[in-house]
Structure 1
Amino acid sequence: MTIAGPDPSGGEWRRTFDGEREGIRLSLAWIEEIAQGLDLAEDQFYALRLCAEELITNSVLHNAGRARNGDRLHLRLTLAAQADRVALTVEDNGAYFDIVSAPAKTADQPLDQLQPGGLGVGLVKRFASRLDYAQTEFGNKVVAAFYRPP
């Protein structure tokens, strides 16, 4: 079953997921199913999928499934497609983390000297056409936009 808006270039979808490992799998499958129904170039689809995986996985793993107040972590996802762009909004109620201001770790040293992890921030910054962050009453709100070629 393919989920699609009224037009292959537009629509908006929202869903909330539990911030657990199973929520990662379910949310990525949900995003991919919608994205397959959109008129995305292969590189846009790849960039969207990569950024979604980084943002969602990092939220769940770095918060260990817990919100700032100790309750369960929740993810609110919105995927919005317009003629000129696709935007993924990832909101969580975890510890505040401003990905826009966070330094991007680079892999500019020999492989045997690299420490695992930490490259996701740089990947998201590289593959999203635009990246915005805000602290909200709910928690973190990250919007990654991917512009469509004219």
Structure 2
Amino acid sequence: MSMMATRFDRVLKAQHGEIATLMADFGTFAEAAALPADAIFKIELALDELMNNTIDYGYPDGGEGEIQVAIERLPGRVTIDYADDARLFDPLGLPEPDITLGIDERKPGGLGVHLIRKLMSESRYTVERDRNHIRLGLVLDDPT
């Protein structure tokens, strides 16, 4: 029996308080979509990192921003489409952090994006209609 794809769509303000709302709503969706615990952990980490980065760095003038998150549960995989109207920036293009250096020697930043690239099966950045778009894909260990 093939499972129907289920979809999750949210439009959020670019404010830190919205992260908790997103996590609660995603938790409800994840349960309904029967996502495995490790996939939930990876997706929550990626969404938290992306939203924090967008809010902290994307609106240097403190403008009102909007973030869109769409998640689709397909057989054997999950896709995450993340879009914002912050200043155009490709976080996936950041160089790999040198994780051999001690924490004091390391340049700040980049570690969260590094984690996203490592945890997700695919990650891609594009600009569409003057908006940042990040598409993440996660292949599930359990193919159902």
TM category (shorter chain) comes to 0.7 to 0.9
Which residue of the other structure, out of 14, 19, 24, is the alignment partner of 1:24? 19
C-alpha change, 1:45 and 1:117, in structure 2 (3 Å) is same
User: Structure 2 stretches of 5 or more lacking a match?
Assistant: none
Match of 1:84 in 2: 76
1:144 aligns with 2:132: no
Conserved in 2, the CA contact under 8 Å of 1:129 and 1:144?
Answer: yes
Q: Using structure 2 for the length normalisation, give the TM-score.
A: 0.85
Q: Give how far 1:138 is off.
A: 4.6
User: Structure 1 stretches of 5 or more lacking a match?
Assistant: 1-6
Cα offsets for 1:96-119 (capped at 9, x unmatched): 112332212232212333344321
Match of 2:98 in 1: 106
Give percent identity, aligned residues only. Answer: 21
- Give the letter for the 2:132 counterpart: N
Conserved in 1, the CA contact under 8 Å of 2:6 and 2:33?
Answer: no
Which residue of the other structure, out of 28, 52, 55, is the alignment partner of 1:57? 52
Q: Using structure 1 for the length normalisation, give the TM-score.
A: 0.82
Match of 2:9 in 1: 14
Distance 2:67 2:82 in 1: 7
Name segments (4+ residues, structure 1) moved above 4 Å. Answer: none
What is the aligned-residue RMSD (CA, Å)?
Answer: 2.2
What is the DSSP-based 3-state SS (H/G/I as helix, E as strand, rest coil) of the residue aligned with 2:95? coil
